[in-house]
Amino acid sequence: MLKTLQKSTALFACIFGFVLAEPAWAADDLSPQQLLNAMTQAERQLNYQLIFVQNDNGNNHALQYRYSLKDNKKYAQMTTMDGVKRDIIQRDDMVSYFNPHIAPFTLKSQYIVDNLPPLLQADFDKLAKYYDFTALGRNRIADRMVQMVRIKPKDNFRYHYVVFIDEETHLLLRSDLLDQDGVLLDQFRVIQFATSETPLPFVESVEQLPFPPLISDKRKAGKTSNWKLSWLPQGFRQMNKTLTTDEEGNRIESRFYSDGLFTFEIFVSDGQQNEAQNGSLRHGATTIYSETINNKEITLIGQLPIGTAKRIVQDLKF
């Protein structure tokens, strides 16, 4: 299966390299921002199934995603297409994970986040203050005509996207996450999809499936130390904070930040790390930056350029 998809990927790469010389917008004549809003609306309101390839740090993974609405409840299923079969199943605000190597479990969540671009849940009216949306013309993905839109930050502290949106259904058929130099960090690319006027057949079996145990977040929203971030790119704000301890009894404080499109988390620990462990690592779109400040181990993990992560950590004040 994967070899077949890889061959298709190579063929598609040749095709996708050229923007079709046709008018920039289709008959509905939506602006880039309106088209992005239509994309997020279609993702939530249509019944559809996709087969897509995710390119993460040069590794291709083929997956199937199905989404449907029934009686005002959301149902979804994500299934791996290669190797060991793994399933993620959503039933309204519950998401269950099935993996043959671990016991199944359930988390409370409004949507499946694994392997899908976070921009599908974005509020582009709010993001317009910090990002520019630019029409790039028409193209062809999965034998469908699409509109291309660039989502680029107004500053140089974040990554940017190029998205390919189906002209008829407004579903996202491809997204490229790029760094400041245009290097591809992550790609979501649909190779086959279908929509339905009625709920998809998988919903019936999902309704009958017993829930695995619900796992709650054991981290506490306790009183944290009086440290703060002196600098953040515009639009980022703190979403939550937690306090926990490691196996050696060291306090670990964490704070989660988001601008509505990209996220990162800061960890501050009493445990000191070897200076040789200080520094940065990037895996695809994920950056890990660590530094010891005031005898505290500071680690940032998130979807940010290394330079941005370094500045945030080094401007942390106690």
Give yes or no: residues 204 and 240 share one domain: no
Query: Distance of alpha carbon 234 from its chain centroid, rounded?
Result: 20
User: Confidence class of residue 117 from pLDDT cuts 50, 70 and 90?
Assistant: very high
Q: Which two tokens stand for residue 228?
A: 């703060």
pLDDT at residue number 27 = 41
Give yes or no: residues 172 and 83 share one domain: yes
The answer to whether 39 touches 172, Cβ cutoff 8 Å, is: yes
pLDDT at residue number 116 = 96
User: Confidence class of residue 61 from pLDDT cuts 50, 70 and 90?
Assistant: very high
Answer yes or no: is pLDDT of 303 > 90: yes
DSSP per position, 138-156 = EEEETTEEEEEEEEEESSS
Give yes or no: residues 62 and 196 share one domain: yes
Give the CATH number of the domain where residue 188 resides: 2.50.20.10
Q: How many domains does the chain have?
A: 2
3-class secondary structure, 114: coil
Burial of 136 (0-12, 13-18, 19+ CB in 10 A): middle
Residue 196 resides in a domain: yes
Answer yes or no: is pLDDT of 173 > 90: yes
Give yes or no: residues 160 and 247 share one domain: no
For 72-86, write each residue's pLDDT tens digit.
999 999 999 999 999
pTM of the model: 0.88
Give yes or no: residues 48 and 176 share one domain: yes
For 88-100, write each residue's pLDDT tens digit.
999 999 999 999 9
Listed residue (158, 165, 166) closest to 127, CA to CA: 158
Domain range for residue 84?
A: 2-208
Give the CATH number of the domain where residue 254 resides: 3.30.200.100
Q: How far apart are CA 197 and CA 199, in angstroms?
A: 7
Give yes or no: residues 58 and 190 share one domain: yes
Give yes or no: residues 236 and 124 share one domain: no
Q: How much is the average pLDDT of 54-74?
A: 94
Q: How much is the average pLDDT of 54-81?
A: 95
